[in-house]
């Protein structure tokens, strides 16, 4: 257990925040630094085909130790962390949790009232932030679990397995993780992203997703003489937001319910830019949401005189369509969990993963847990026992696939 803690701490100390404003791949140098570190670790484990390509993707193969032909499995995690907060966690708290609220620092406390799942973690060794950074468990816990599992297999050659492919991707958090992934070169028949939350999560459904950019060109005149002349672009942006269904906002939705999210707004009386994302698990409702957004813009253009432009771009689609013809992949993961006495939690992802894009690129790729909680913020935490369970699940999937 100490070994996986040391490995995880080594990874989270490198700031790998991705940057959506960058045009490079990877979008930040820290991801190259972590990738180079992983290359050296994979070399120490004696893997084949190890490389970090010019775009920061890391690939490796653990060669088969059996004569029979079995499906080639891949395991994939992402190198970057969310841009939402400082990603260099050099002062994590590691402790045996005995219950109660968790004080991160003098300003931030993780309370049981806000996070009731803490009651289920009593007796676990937790890793939290010090309240000033992300922890980076999303997805460095996935990286650690994969490396730990591969190390275990190299130390236990009696465990029979086919070819195992490893992939680490950049820029997943900004939606680019699969953009330049070499599916053909990767050579897996199917794969799992190790990028989920609490223990037991097994996911093969996710949102259909689109981004929306709205630009509003107002008319700024002196407020003292503005009557019948001024067109305040900020106010029109507020009017647009007010016309979207209130009940279809993220803070009011769950399960299979989709939403519109106002991501950011910048502007002045003269000119305003508004960015949204649209999400829905069902393609018909997804298309309806996009059409309704356009209808609102058409209405406001009729009202104010064609001063609004809109760009809607699809980001990714629900992987369910691509996984359902290969449900043996889900059954393999489910049975492997049950053998480890892990209760499978099969539910839709209220988000997206590299696996969604990769599934549409010809690599069926559902998602399994890392064990973490509260991703993308200072309250992120993970029980180290859960990372170890993710590692053990990877080994069990590999072992069962070879039978």
Q: Which of 80, 171, 205, 354 is catalytic?
A: 80
Pick from 257, 53, 250: nearest CA to 170: 53
In 10 A of CB 275, how many CB atoms? 15
3-state SS, residue 274 = strand
Token pair belonging to 272 = 């305003």
Instruction: Enumerate residues 6+ apart whose C-beta is below 8 A from 320.
Output: 204, 205, 206
Output helix, strand, coil percentages for the chain, rounded to the nearest 5.
35, 25, 40
Q: Which residues have C-beta within 8 Å of that of residue 109, sequence separation ≥ 6? A: 101, 102, 103
Q: Active site includes 172?
A: yes
151 is catalytic: no
Structure tokens at 299: 């209405």
Whole-number Cα distances in Å, 334 to 157, 164, 301: 24, 19, 51
Beta carbons within 10 angstroms of residue 152's beta carbon: 15
Question: Is the Cβ–Cβ distance between 47 and 166 less than 8 Å?
Answer: yes
Q: How far apart are CA 335 and CA 15, in angstroms?
A: 36
Q: Around Cβ 254, how many Cβ atoms within 10 Å?
A: 8
Pick the catalytic residue from 41, 139, 172, 380.
Answer: 172
Listed in sequence order, the residues at least 6 apart from 106 whose beta carbon sits closer than 8 Å to its beta carbon are none
SS3 state at 374: coil
3-state secondary structure of 129: coil
Q: What is the DSSP string of 52-113?
A: E-TTS-EEEEE---SSS--PPEEEEEES-B-TTS-----S-EEEE--SS-EE-SSS-EE-TT
Cα(264)–Cα(246) distance, integer angstroms: 17
Q: Which residues are catalytic?
A: 80, 172
């Amino acid at each position: 257990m100490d070994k996986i803690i040391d490995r995880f701490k080594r990874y989270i100390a490198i700031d790998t925040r991705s940057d959506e404003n960058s045009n490079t791949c990877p979008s930040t140098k820290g991801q190259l630094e972590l990738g180079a570190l992983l290359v050296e670790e994979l070399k120490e484990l004696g893997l084949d085909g190890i490389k970090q390509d010019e775009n920061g993707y890391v690939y490796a193969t653990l060669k088969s130790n059996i004569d029979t032909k079995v499906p080639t499995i891949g395991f994939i995690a992402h190198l970057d962390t969310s841009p939402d907060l400082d990603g260099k966690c050099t002062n994590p708290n590691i402790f045996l949790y005995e219950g109660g609220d968790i004080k991160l620092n003098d300003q931030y406390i993780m309370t049981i009232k806000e996070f009731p799942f803490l009651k289920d973690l009593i007796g676990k060794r937790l890793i939290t932030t010090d309240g000033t950074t992300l922890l980076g468990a999303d997805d460095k816990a996935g990286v650690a679990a994969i490396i730990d599992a591969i190390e275990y297999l190299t130390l236990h050659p009696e465990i029979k397995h086919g070819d195992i492919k490893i992939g680490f991707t950049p820029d997943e958090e900004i939606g680019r993780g699969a953009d330049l992934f070499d599916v053909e070169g990767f050579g897996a028949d199917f794969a799992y992203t190790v990028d989920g939350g609490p223990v037991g999560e097994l996911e093969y459904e996710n949102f259909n997703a689109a981004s929306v950019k709205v630009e509003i060109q107002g008319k700024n005149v002196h407020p003292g003489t503005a009557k019948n002349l001024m067109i305040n672009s900020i106010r029109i942006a507020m009017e647009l937001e007010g016309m979207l269904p209130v009940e279809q906002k993220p803070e009011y939705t769950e399960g299979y319910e989709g939403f519109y999210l106002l991501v950011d707004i910048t502007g002045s009386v003269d000119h305003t830019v508004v960015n949204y994302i649209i999400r829905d698990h069902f393609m018909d409702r997804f298309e309806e949401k996009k059409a309704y957004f356009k209808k609102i813009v058409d209405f406001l253009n009729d009202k104010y005189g064609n001063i609004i432009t809109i760009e809607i771009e699809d980001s990714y689609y629900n992987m369910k369509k691509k996984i359902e013809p290969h449900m043996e992949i889900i059954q393999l993961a489910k049975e492997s969990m049950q053998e480890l006495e892990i209760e499978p939690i099969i539910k839709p992802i209220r988000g997206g993963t590299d696996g969604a894009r990769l599934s549409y690129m010809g690599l069926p790729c559902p998602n399994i847990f890392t064990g973490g909680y509260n991703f993308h913020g200072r309250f992120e935490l993970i029980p180290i026992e859960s990372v170890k369970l993710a590692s053990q699940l990877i080994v069990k999937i590999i072992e069962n696939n070879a039978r």
